[in-house]
Amino acid sequence: MVVLVKFFLFVSLITVFVVSAIEVNTGNDFNQYANNYVGEGIADFQEATSFEDLVSDVQSDLHSDVQSDAEQFLDLRRRGHQNKPLKYEVYDEYNKKNKGFVSKPFYPSPLGGRIPNVWQEAYEKARKLVEKMSITEKVNLTTGTGWGSGPCIGNTGGNKLVPPFCIQDGPNGVRFADFVTSFPTGLAAGSTFNRGLMYLRGKAIALEHKRKGVDVVLGPTIGPIGLKAAGGRNWESFGNDPYLEGIAGRVTVEGIQEEGVIACVRHLIGNEQETFRQVGEWDNNLQASISSNIGDRAMHEVYLFPFADAINAGAGSVMCSFNRVNNSYACENPALLNGLLKDELGFQGFVMSDWGAQHTGVYSCLAGLDMTMPGEIFNNWCSGKSYWGPLLTRAVYNQTIPQSRLNDMAVRILAPFFVVGCQDFNNNSPPNFSSWTYHTYGQEFPYAHYGPILQVNWHVDARDKFTEETALQVAREAIVLLKNDGRNLPISPDKGVRRLLIAGIAAGASADGFNCKDQKCVDGVITSGWGSAAVNNPYVITPYEAVARKAIDLDMVVDFTRDSYSFETVDEASDYADMAIVFVSADSGEGYIQIDDNYGDRKNLSLWHNGDELIKHVAERCRKTVVVVNSVGPVNMEKWIDHENVVAVLYAAPLGQFVGKAIAEVLFGDVNPSGRLPFTIARKDDHYVKIVNELPEDGEPQDDFNHDIYLDYKFFDKHNLKPRFEFGYGLSYTSFALSSLKISEIQAPTEFLPRPEKYLSIYKMCEDDICDPEDALFPHDEMEPVPGFIYPYLFNEKIVSVDEFEYPKGYTPDQFNDPPLAGGGLGGNPALWDILYTVKAKVTNTGAITGSYVAQLYVEFPCTHVGSPSRQLRGFDKVKLQPGGKSRVHFDLLRRDLSIWDTSSQQWIIQKGTYKIFIGSSSRKLELCGEIEIETNDN
């Protein structure tokens, strides 16, 4: 192995508009309450005097952990590569006869608890519990009790050993609950480029779920990954890059599970549009959900990449998506669930279906699904009809499904609880809220109109200073300054601004309020998109309220208009204004809700509510027009972005309840903007991947992911397309300089992965006597069945419905003894997580005010083996500096960061050649460059 490191200095100064010194004040008396709510592992949090100090401590702690690991790697023996026949080949291939990609079989579902030194204690405890359960008690863990058949969005049946589990949305706070925080969305968190803050957001979200009695948080969302700019649920995820999604997903999982709540990472995989996601949702001619057809390399390097991070962090659950993947439904796709997730990525938790995403009983079980939610068959809500429940019990009794599979499902469901610190299920706090009403009292089973009237809501206030301050700080750091000509921001009377116009529907509240069902009230400021990830706002500080208050405090005159169509009031007020702030928006959400023919996905990338015309009307009359774009993703800005009177532009993803306060603080300079774009804003809509919205004659839409590994900015770079604003872009009120690049080798790279350890021997669990199905009949003498409630009990003693069951092609019950070469650990081969190099650089605040700088590291791979994107994000570090202050930014390059997926050998490899290391402020503004020359020798 020969490694040569070279350095080049491109540009040492990032020029950003500088304004007179302004004290950036977050106003946080944080040290009084941080100690109560921040768990172990955060260095010196007791000494934090502000929220930002705490975030800085978290960042330092994250770095110190990996640095200490890196030092250990220096003493590890060099692990060599062994050639061994592959036990399975690439799971998809192009097959014209089957209209595209075909998902190959992979059986059986790998037993959990067989990876050396991974979750062994948790599995031992879970097995002991499961061995005490009957078949029906095990089935009760796997099958939701039905929509509305419990206090939570998802509820499992309990038994004498474990209580029912409460499973609740979601990724941005507690859905369908009162006295909770409406957190900034995943897209907003991604815009902060602050991993410490992302981690604290995960902790805060988990704390509020825990205080409400939730056991499993349906979050974070790391799929969709943003392949399509108009995708309806992009706002739930962290951005359009697998590395950014992976890091954000990882630290969010860590934050959630450190609070004793299980994280369910969603949606696996290829859920890149809402249109055609589910049969029976809108189009009656749809015969099968859209198939996301993903190539092998793209699957590994793009779509599966962030899931590996989350699993490596110990995620307890993964949710499979509605769509098909290579023409097999995701929730019954054995290549996806058994092969990629459980075998290759070594996932040890349980796979949960999205709500109604299960389409078969036995097949989905054999394919690797462990829990079905909410229990019913899609569009048969409250019917009691389930693919599992009594049918799963029957399949075990007639031995179609082996007991070992049911045992593994139950153990996988329980093991994560022990991983996150559960010692005794009897001490778990039950849910203290109802997802179905905000009244204190209600019927026990409201959708079945059954049961007594009892207390269903205790109105527990789950919020505190930590959770609220976390939400506010994420909102502040998420705001991206895209343009600031003439240094017109921050706003000040000293710049001649005495009369201020606030214009636009998005500046105020919707006429329908802040909390219409699932946030489909879109005629006002956007706190989130619509759908299951939306959270009821306890209150909202609108942009108009927050901006007007600050302006009034500065003795300004404030005008306001919501007029976006007639323009008579707008035109007149614009003529008088010294500065106008125009708030515009664009919204989207989940596919079960349509707004103005936006079926979840946006039907175009234009601003809503005639926003383009509003901006042009104001800009024609006011020489200082500031535009604030509050949207779920990129919008087309070409109609007004170059207008000479549009002097400043801010982008704000949905920011939760503090949307107005955070925007006002940035506009007036209380906070120096530090957000960065987590996606590319194009000049032409044609540069984005389109939504598939044409239904073919056979009713089975196909979506070939033809961009392959070239997602977002990588596609723009490949085709030399000039964006309006590139990925990672964002301005500040101060200026910075980068210098002193240093690259250090920690561990010499090898071309091939080392062979992972063998699986542990199979643990033989006790099996139940299934001679007499009478044991599993409904206990009518003990209880009265609730209408629509899904029970695990048999209807009768007839357990055989067909003479012979046809197992899926390739099925075998025989377990493998060896993991694949790419597997053998949480998130894949343990060697993938080895640190090979550390990269450091110095950042200096050369401006006059305090500000934060996001250093971004990109790697250019050699093309020795196969072509790759010209630049790929492989690190980011955010530092806050006083004027004249200096700090080091730090990056760790893991083996996986320098690897490509080799489709022929089915493993990650490191190519020989020159790796260029870039550090800069965006994907196209790169100030420092170094080189690593790798000549591998695996003998």
Nearest Cα to Cα of residue 177 among 373, 457, 531: 457
Count CA atoms closer than 13 A to 240's CA, side-chain side.
Answer: 31
Nearest Cα to Cα of residue 703 among 419, 208, 324, 249: 324
Average confidence (pLDDT) over 539-565: 96
User: Where residue 55 falls among pLDDT bands split at 50, 70, 90?
Assistant: low
User: Where residue 65 falls among pLDDT bands split at 50, 70, 90?
Assistant: very low
Neighbours of 809 (CB within 10 A): 9
Distance CA 717, CA 448 (A): 55
Q: Percentage of the chain with pLDDT > 90?
A: 82
Quick: pLDDT tens for 520-540.
Answer: 889 999 999 999 999 999 999
Distance CA 125, CA 117 (A): 15
68-72, 804-808, 891-895: least confident range: 68-72
Residue 857 is inside which H or E element, if any?
Answer: strand 851-860
Residue 210 is inside which H or E element, if any?
Answer: helix 195-211
User: Where residue 882 falls among pLDDT bands split at 50, 70, 90?
Assistant: very high
Backbone angles phi, psi at 300, to 5 degrees: -80, -45
| Whether residue 402 has pLDDT greater than 90 | yes
Strands of 332-449 (E only): list them: 350-353, 441-445
Distance CA 826, CA 250 (A): 12
What is the per-residue DSSP string for 168-179? Answer: E--TTS-TT-SS
Average confidence (pLDDT) over 355-366: 96
Average confidence (pLDDT) over 633-647: 98
Instruction: Give residue 575's Cα distance to chain centre.
Output: 44
| Whether residue 86 has pLDDT greater than 70 | no
Sketch the domain layout of the chain as residue ranges.
71-460+763-776, 480-674, 737-755+822-934
pLDDT at 902: 96
Q: Is 354 a catalytic residue?
A: yes
Neighbours of 831 (CB within 10 A): 24
Q: Report the b/e string of 726-761 with b at 16+ CB within 10 A.
A: bbbbbbbbbbbbbeebebebbbebbbbbbbbeebbe
What is the per-residue DSSP string for 29-44? Answer: --TTTHHHH--TT-TT
Residue 395 is inside which H or E element, if any?
Answer: helix 390-397
pLDDT at 881: 98
Average confidence (pLDDT) over 868-885: 97
pLDDT at 466: 97
Quick: pLDDT tens for 212-236.
Answer: 999 999 999 999 999 999 999 999 9
User: Where residue 337 falls among pLDDT bands split at 50, 70, 90?
Assistant: very high
Cβ proximity of 91 and 103 under 8 Å: yes
Q: Pick the more confident residue, 14 or 271.
A: 271
pLDDT at 768: 87
Locus of tokens 């404030």 = 558
Average confidence (pLDDT) over 625-632: 98
Locus of tokens 């509003």 = 614
| Whether residue 83 has pLDDT greater than 80 | no
| Whether residue 61 has pLDDT greater than 90 | no
pLDDT at 780: 92
Average confidence (pLDDT) over 414-419: 98
Quick: pLDDT tens for 139-162.
Answer: 999 999 999 999 999 999 989 999
pLDDT at 50: 60
Instruction: Give residue 314's Cα distance to chain centre.
Output: 15
Average confidence (pLDDT) over 874-898: 98
Tell whether pTM > 0.85: yes
pLDDT at 380: 87
pLDDT at 517: 83
Distance CA 306, CA 19 (A): 39
Tokens read off for 313: 């962090």
Quick: pLDDT tens for 463-506.
Answer: 999 999 999 999 999 999 999 999 999 999 999 999 999 999 99
| Whether residue 73 has pLDDT greater than 70 | no
Quick: pLDDT tens for 265-291.
Answer: 999 999 999 999 999 888 779 999 999
Quick: pLDDT tens for 31-42.
Answer: 333 333 333 333
Name which CATH class applies to 480-674: alpha beta
Mean pLDDT, the chain, rounded, equals 90
Which of 53, 57, 92, 354 is catalytic? The answer is 354
Architecture of domain 737-755+822-934: Sandwich (2.60)
| Whether residue 98 has pLDDT greater than 50 | no
Average confidence (pLDDT) over 890-914: 96
| Whether residue 13 has pLDDT greater than 60 | no
Tokens read off for 831: 């060697």
Cβ proximity of 244 and 220 under 8 Å: no
pLDDT at 58: 60
Name which CATH class applies to 71-460+763-776: alpha beta
Distance CA 277, CA 590 (A): 10
What is the per-residue DSSP string for 410-429? Answer: HHHHHHHHHHTT---GGGPP
Tokens read off for 405: 């599979």
User: Where residue 74 falls among pLDDT bands split at 50, 70, 90?
Assistant: very low
Count CA atoms closer than 13 A to 662's CA, side-chain side.
Answer: 36
Nearest Cα to Cα of residue 384 among 931, 873, 793: 793
Quick: pLDDT tens for 241-254.
Answer: 999 999 999 999 99
| Whether residue 542 has pLDDT greater than 60 | yes
Helices (H), 444-600: 465-478, 543-553, 568-576
160-164, 515-519, 549-553: least confident range: 515-519
